[in-house]
Structure 1
Amino acid sequence: MKHSSTLSLVPTTPVAMFDIWKVGLMACELWSTSLSTITMRNHLWQTQPFFSPKMMQENQRMVTEKLEASMEAGLVMQKALFNSMNGQLAPWWVTSKRTMKPYYQRSSANSRRLAQ
């Protein structure tokens, strides 16, 4: 019988379990900062005229950041795909963390910036 060396979906080391915990924490923080950012931007849209320079700048920033984060996450996924084609498999929790990172950083920064 042939033995394959595929990655396990279940972590087998304490370090891997800690990485999964960090991915879950990152996902919860991303969720909460996204909700607060959406709420604060909604408030701005309701209280500021849409044609004011401040609102136009904020809207442009929002769209630009979303596009940049999407492109970065897409590149991470492509890199993971190409690496897996070359036999360099990464566990799902590593790929998940790398993929969420661009969204997480921008969402956290926006939440802090808009809260001021």
Structure 2
Amino acid sequence: MLDVWNLGVMAFELWSTSLSTIAMRQGLWQTQSPTSVRMLKENQRMVTEKLEASLETSFEVQKAMLQMAFGQTAPWWVTSRRTMTPYHRRSSANSRRLSRQR
């Protein structure tokens, strides 16, 4: 049961850090010039991180599918945690980084 609880905590943290990151980036977009070096780097970083996280998640899903094909199933909460980890890690790091830049 503790694993299911930890999954719920991770989902809540992902939700809250995603909202704060979106709000802070919106603030940057409203106060910075879109062609400034800082905004270009931030936008490039945002896209790159999303692509990397989606690739990592797709690899985890593929690994789970292959394990299922060979009869090695993991509980749903383990698979869910593995697939959310790349997004959670990046979202938490972005929230911390953007909150310090003010």
Q: Which stretches in structure 2 are left out of the alignment for 5+ residues? A: none
Unpaired runs of 5+ residues, structure 1, are 1-16
Which of 38, 41, 53 pairs up with 2:25? 41
Higher relative contact order (CA 8 A, sep 6+): 2
Partner of 2:94: 110
Query: 1: distance between equivalents of 2:76 and 2:59?
Result: 16
Higher helix share: 2
User: Match for 2:8 among 11, 24, 32?
Assistant: 24
Larger Rg: 1
CA RMSD of superposed structures (Å): 0.3
Q: TM-score, structure 2 length as denominator?
A: 0.98
Output the TM-score relative to the length of structure 1.
Answer: 0.86
Alignment deviations for residues 55-95 of structure 1 (CA, whole Å, 9 cap, x no partner)? 00000000000000000000000000000100100000000
Structure 1 stretches of 4+ with a deviation exceeding 2 A read: none
Pick aligned residue for 2:82 from 94, 98, 111: 98
Work out whether 1:58 is the aligned partner of 2:46: no
Equivalent residues, number: 100
